Amino acid sequence: MTNSFSHLERLFPGDSEMAGRMRAFDWSASALGSTHDWPENLRVAIRLCLTSRFPICLWWARPLRFLYNDAFLPWLSDTKHPRALMQLGREVWSEDWDTIDPMLDLSDNPVASFCGQIAVGEEFRRAGKCRIDVPPHRGERSTSVFTRHRRWMTGASLGIVASWAVAAGAQRPQTNLPLDPPRERGASITPAYEGWYANPDGTFSMLIGYYNRNTKEALDVPVGPNNRVEPGGPDQGQPTHFEIGRQWGVFVVKVPKDFGTKAVTWTIVSNGETQSVPFTLNKGYPISPFKELGMGNQPPVLAFSQGGAKVTGPPTGVSASLTGTVNQPVAISAWVEDPKAPGEAEAPPAGFGLPPGSVATVSLHKFRGPGKVTFDKARVPVPKQGAMVTCLATFSAPGEYLLRVQANDESGEGGFGFQCCWTNTYVKVTVQ
C-alpha cells in the first residue's frame, strides 16, 4: 500500500485539488488503464500539468480525453467540473467542438506552436458562436483565447498539451496587445518576468526575458532612456540586442533579502512604443530553475574548457573571454552534460523537443555589441553526455561583444513555460 501511494504521489505531485482527484481516480477502469502501465511521455505531461501555475489541459488517447490542473478551473463551469476529468473532449465542450477540434489537429509536429484564436465574450455567446467559459474576474468584451500545444506520440498513444490565456478590455488600446496579429516590423518589445528564486545567502534573483513581437525585425536599443532598469539602473545587465520572438530568462536582477514589496521595473522604448513591466517578489511567482519540482529534471551543464568551471541554470556572469578579428570566424566551444533524474531515461521519449539522437542542444545569441553577429549554425545538437560542440561567430565591426550561450534539454524553449530547465550564460568577445 505504501509503495502504491508513493507511486501515485510521484505521478500526481502536490497538494492541489486536481492532484488529489487524480490520485483518487480509478485509472484501471478508465481508457488509460493502470498508471503502472502508462508511457513515460504521459507521466511527464501529467507532472508538468499539475506543477504549473498556468492553466493547462491535456487531451490524451484516441478519442481525445480531457485532463486539467487547478489553474484551468476558472475555464470550467460548475456543470463541467469535476466530471470533466477523463471525459471525452467532444463531450466536455460539445457545444463548441467544431471550433476546438481543428485547433487540436497538429499533424505530426512535435514542437510547441500557437494554433489560433477563439473569440469569446457575451456578444459571441449571444450569437451562438462560442460558449467557452471565461473566468468570472475577467472582462467580457473584446476577449480572445489562444492555445499553445505540444503533441506527443508513441506507438498508439497520442497526447496534446494546451495552455490557455485570456486578454480582455472594453476598449482596444493603441499599443499592440499580446494577442494582436503578428507584424513583420514596427511592433514593440515587451519585458517578460519568468519569476524569482531565493539564493543561499538570503538574497533573491529575478529571472527576466523578453518578447520581440516583430517576426522579421531584430532591434538594438542601447542602455539609457529607451532601455533602462530602475531603481539602480539604467544598466543592470539587460540585453541591448533583441532577437525576434520570445527569449526566455536572458538575465537576472539580484535584490537584497529585505527587498520586501518593492519593485524593479524594466522599460523598453522601440518603434515609438513604450513597454514597462514591474517585477516583484509576489508570492505567485516563485520558480525553481535548477530543478523541476514535478519530475526532478535539471538544466544542462556547460563548461568552456575541458574540465573547467561548470555553469547551469540562469545566467550569473561571463563564463569565458575570447578575442577575434573583424569578419573572421571565432570558434566558441562548450562541453555539455544533461543531468538525469533518478529513473529518467538517458534518451528522451520520441517526439520531445530535441533532434534525434541528441541529449541537448546549444545555441548562440548576440546579447550586446556594436555590430552584426552571424553564426554558422542556429542550434547545435549535443550527441552524447560530455560532448564538445562548436559554433562559429563572425563579427562585422570592432568592439566588445557579449554573446549569450543557451543550452536546452528535452523540455525545450522556456522549459515549455515551466521556468525550468535550460541554461544561459555569457561569453565576452573582444574584436579588433
Render pLDDT for 274-321 as a digit per residue (tens, 0 to 9): 999 999 998 878 889 998 877 788 999 999 988 889 999 999 999 999
Residue 283 is predicted with a pLDDT of 81
Q: Is residue 296 part of a domain?
A: no
Q: Is residue 292 part of a domain?
A: no
Residue 325 is predicted with a pLDDT of 97
Amino acid, res. 124 = F
* Block mean pLDDT (10 aa), the chain, length 432: 66 88 90 86 83 80 81 77 85 73 53 37 35 38 36 41 44 46 85 93 96 93 97 94 94 96 95 93 87 83 91 95 97 91 55 75 96 93 91 97 94 74 96 96
Strands 273-279 and 380-382: unpaired
Residue 202 is predicted with a pLDDT of 96
Which structural domain range is residue 117 located in?
Answer: 2-167
Strands 113-120 and 204-212: unpaired
Query: Residue 407: which residues within 8 A CB-CB, separation 6 or more?
Result: 299, 300, 301, 302, 334, 336, 360, 361, 362, 382, 422, 423
Instruction: Give this prediction's pTM.
Output: 0.64
- Number of separate domains in the chain: 3
Q: Is residue 47 part of a domain?
A: yes
Q: For residue 325, what is its C-alpha cell?
A: 578579428
Strands 301-303 and 330-337: antiparallel
Residues 406 and 371 in one domain: yes
Render pLDDT for 127-151 as a digit per residue (tens, 0 to 9): 333 333 444 433 333 333 333 334 3
Q: Is 391 helix (H, G, I), strand (E, B) or coil?
A: strand
Picking from 279, 309, 342, the residue at the C-terminal end of a domain is 279
Render pLDDT for 142-199 as a digit per residue (tens, 0 to 9): 333 333 334 333 333 445 555 554 433 333 334 455 445 678 899 999 999 999 999 9
Residues 264 and 313 in one domain: no
Tell me how many degrees the CA angle 411-414-418 measures, rounded to the nearest 5. 75
Q: Is residue 336 part of a domain?
A: yes
Residues 125 and 23 in one domain: yes
Residues 163 and 198 in one domain: no
Residues 12 and 96 in one domain: yes
Residues 193 and 56 in one domain: no
